[in-house]
Each structure stands twice: as structure tokens, then as C-alpha cells.
């Protein structure tokens, strides 16, 4: 707590100031400062003395390497991919694209493999699910600049009006389907991660269309939702989300 106060201060803090902000007796603060000063975590300057962050704090900070989102989510996505036999994808909106934060393929010969970290938002299960969380007047930033949009297959929705209708269906049922809109023979099913934090994330599975028909979707949906809830409950998930929030803010 003392180190946090010192780290936020614009200049060295006096004993009285530290005691007041930390709500600790001066005698306790003196003992703590003495130990931290001996270890290099605080530095004493001036007379009467004031205190600032010491070199040892920087040494500890430089040695801290936070785990990536992929590192944290890998066990859950791997288990999901193997349980349903489909490729698992975790993603977020990034302008007109979906950013794939982590993709795990199942251990089987026939599987869907992504060819990059970015894909279009308007024709993917992840993108449409994430746009469905926005008001209709906010989706322009995530759609191509002009209509008709590029048609990747005969099933691709190529107009804003068509996308808005699709987003309303997603809001009503709580999940999205990319029914061969991006790739022939591939169906994607996506659900939101149940969190109030920004940015919004979605979890999906991609499969051969014949294996993810309406009957299969009823089986997969509760498994997909359970995995989404498990991701949010991971102890380090919130800390991994913070750098992504800054990416959305600055982009």
C-alpha cells in the first residue's frame, strides 16, 4: 500500500503524508519504511526526510511478464475443441475486422484452420455476435465502406439492411450463426462472454456445415456457453483483458 502511494506521488512524500494517506500510525510507517529502504524499495531524501520509489521496484517490474490471453485461455479452448470436435475461436471487434485472440484446432484430420489473425466482421459468426451488442447506429464503423459488400459465397449478406435484420435475430436467440457466409462448407456458431468489461469478447466454434446443423447446434450451444463462462471466471482473465481495452480505445 505504501509503495502504491509513493508510485502515484509526483514528488517524494513525507512521513506524515504517508501515514495520513495509508491510514497507519507513524510508528508502523517508520518500521515499514526502514525495511523497504534497506532492501532498496524506497529511497530517503532531504531533511526532514521524504521518501520515493527505490531502484528495487524497477528491478521487480522489469522481471514481470504477464501471461498473454492465449496462454490463459488455452486450456479451456483446447478442452472445448476436443469435446465438440470443432475449431474454437476467441475474438473481439477491431474496426471492420474481427481480431482472433486465440484459435485452437481439434485433434482430428478434418478441421477448420484460419489463415490469419484478422477476418471480416460482417460475414463471420464472431463479428456478427459482437456487432449485435451495439445499437444499429453504431455498426457502421464495423462494416465495409460501401455496398454491396464483397460476396464470398452465395450465402454472404452484402447490405447493411440485411445485416441489421440478422443482428436482431442474434439478439433474440442469444447466439450467432455464420452459415457458409465466409467460407463454403463451413458453419460458425458464436456466443458472448458474460462480462461487463470492455472490450466485448465472443467465443465460437467452426465446423464442417454438415456437422453443425440445427440438431448439432442444440448439443453444442450449452457446451459453448459453459466454456464462455469458464473463461470469464479464470483468475488472470481480467488482467489479460486490460491491454486489449487500451487497443480498442486507441484504434
Same domain, 30 and 147: no
pLDDT at 250: 39
pLDDT of residue 130: 96
Residues 6 or more apart from 180 whose CB is under 8 A from it? 153, 155, 186, 187, 209
CATH number reported for the structural domain that contains residue 129 in this entry: 3.30.450.40
Residues 124 and 57 in one domain: no
> Are 46 and 92 members of one domain?
no
Give me the pLDDT at residue 58, please.
83
Residue 236 pLDDT: 85
Q: Which domain holds residue 24?
A: 2-62
Among candidate residues 45, 62, 79, the one where a domain is terminated: 62
Q: Walk along the chain (251 residues) and give the pLDDT tens digit of each residue.
A: 999 899 889 899 999 999 999 999 999 999 999 999 999 999 999 888 999 999 998 888 777 666 788 889 999 999 999 999 999 999 999 999 999 999 999 987 766 666 557 899 999 999 999 999 999 889 999 999 999 999 999 999 999 999 999 999 999 999 999 999 999 999 999 999 998 766 789 999 999 999 999 999 999 999 999 999 999 999 888 877 777 765 554 34
Grid cell digits, residue 217: 447446434
Cα 130 to Cα 216: distance, rounded to the nearest angstrom? 23
Residue 64, pLDDT score = 64
- Show which of 62, 85, 112 is a domain's final residue: 62
Indicate if 22 and 51 belong to the same structural domain.
yes
Q: Which residues contact 202 (CB under 8 A, 6 or more apart)?
A: 90, 91, 92, 125, 126, 129, 130, 176, 190, 191, 192, 193
Cell of 59: 528491478
Residue with cell 435475430: 169
Residue 245: per-residue pLDDT: 65
Indicate if 235 and 116 belong to the same structural domain. yes
Same domain assignment for residues 8 and 85: no
Is the domain of 97 the same as that of 144?
Answer: yes
Q: Are residues 135 and 177 in the same domain?
A: yes
Residues 40 and 131 in one domain: no
Backbone phi and psi for residue 91, each to the nearest 5 degrees, phi listed first: -150, 170
Quote the number of domains for the chain: 2
Residue whose C-alpha cell is 511478464: 65
Assign residue 49 the CATH number of its domain.
Answer: 1.10.10.10
User: Do 23 and 117 fall within a single domain?
Assistant: no
Same-domain check for residues 118 and 229:
yes
Amino acid at each position: 500500500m505504501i509503495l502504491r502511494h509513493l508510485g502515484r506521488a509526483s514528488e517524494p512524500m513525507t512521513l506524515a503524508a504517508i501515514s495520513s494517506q495509508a491510514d497507519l500510525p507513524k510508528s508502523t510507517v517508520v518500521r515499514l519504511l526502514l525495511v523497504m529502504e534497506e532492501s532498496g524499495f524506497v529511497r530517503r531524501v532531504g531533511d526532514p526526510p521524504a521518501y520515493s520509489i527505490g531502484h528495487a521496484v524497477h528491478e521487480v517490474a522489469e522481471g514481470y511478464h504477464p501471461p498473454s490471453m492465449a496462454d490463459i485461455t488455452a486450456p479451456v479452448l483446447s478442452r472445448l475443441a476436443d469435446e465438440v470436435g470443432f475449431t474454437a475461436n476467441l475474438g473481439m471487434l477491431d474496426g471492420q475486422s474481427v481480431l482472433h485472440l486465440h484459435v485452437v484446432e481439434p485433434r482430428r484430420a478434418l478441421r477448420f484452420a484460419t489463415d490469419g489473425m484478422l477476418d471480416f466482421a460482417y460475414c463471420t459468426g464472431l463479428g456478427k455476435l459482437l456487432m449485435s451488442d451495439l445499437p444499429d447506429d453504431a455498426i457502421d464503423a464495423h462494416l465495409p465502406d460501401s455496398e454491396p459488400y464483397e460476396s464470398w459465397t452465395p450465402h454472404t449478406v452484402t447490405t447493411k439492411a440485411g445485416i441489421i435484420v440478422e443482428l436482431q435475430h442474434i439478439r433474440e436467440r442469444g447466439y450467432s450463426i455464420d452459415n457458409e457466409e465466409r467460407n463454403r462448407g463451413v458453419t460458425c456458431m458464436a456466443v458472448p462472454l458474460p462480462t461487463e468489461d470492455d472490450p466485448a469478447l465472443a467465443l465460437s466454434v467452426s465446423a464442417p456445415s454438415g456437422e453443425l446443423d440445427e440438431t448439432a447446434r442444440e448439443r453444442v450451444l450449452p457446451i459453448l456457453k459453459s466454456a464462455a463462462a469458464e473463461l470469464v471466471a479464470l483468475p488472470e482473465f481480467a488482467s489479460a483483458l486490460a491491454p486489449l481495452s487500451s487497443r480498442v480505445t486507441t484504434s
